[in-house]
Amino acid sequence: MKIGILAVQGAFAEHKAKLEKLGAQCIELRKREDLDGGFDGLVLPGGESTVQGKLLRELDMFQPMKEKIEVGMPVLATCAGLILLADHLSNDEHVYFGTMPVTVKRNAYGRQLGSFHTIQEMKGMGEVPMTFIRAPYIEKCEEGAEVLAEVEGNIVAVKYKEQYGLAFHPELDEDDTIHSAFLESVKKYKVLK
Ligand code: GLN
């Protein structure tokens, strides 16, 4: 099983370490040609969504990556990655991939209070630790988007088709639950493909 990890900016190394520990092979996606490397799942890491969006376009990676998501490739998107997937941002005029029918608010906890840690139930997965860093949250889900977790009444995790959108950073905690669930989706996709 091969996972492509967007590695133009942000916290990609931690995802790679965790996925490799779980037995997946990983390739870092830094340029257009890396997208031809035959991977079965995609990770969009945290970082700065505006910078990532700009680099994806400049590097000519935007359209081919969007097409892979649109045909059903499983995606694990964390924080800035969730912002890239959302089809609406409530406080920003940009839309990036727009492949997930959710409205996301950037820096939703404010810039100062933006970082905190909690443990919450994820639907079907039990309790998982959640680290938030200048995090967005999901204000609204449209049809087909399933809420996986809420923290204090705000939606922080959603699944749409095989796309996981998380406001927090599961790669920064010891727990492997979410990455394992993602790899299960990838396994399923690989069989169906
Ligand atoms: N605040 C960042 C953004 O809007 C996201 C923060 C993160 O990925 N940790 O892109």
Is the model's pLDDT at 151 over the cut of 70? Answer: yes
Note the pLDDT tens digit of each residue in 68-78.
999 999 999 99
Q: What's the pLDDT at 110?
A: 79
Nearest to 164 by CA among 177, 181, 151, 176: 181
Q: Measuring from atom 5 of ligand 1, which residue has the nearest CA?
A: 80
**Does residue 80 have its Cβ closer than 6 Å to ligand 1?**
yes
Average pLDDT over residues 82-98: 97
CATH number 3.40.50.880 is the correct assignment for the domain at 2-192: yes
Task: Tell whether residue 49 is among the known ligand binding residues.
Answer: yes
Active-site annotation, residues: 79, 169, 171
Q: What's the pLDDT at 112?
A: 63
The pick from 51, 85, 106 for probing ligand 1's pocket by mutation, whose C-beta has the most ligand atoms within 8 angstroms, reads 106
Average pLDDT over residues 140-145: 96
Rounded Cα–Cα distance for residues 163 and 74 (Å): 5
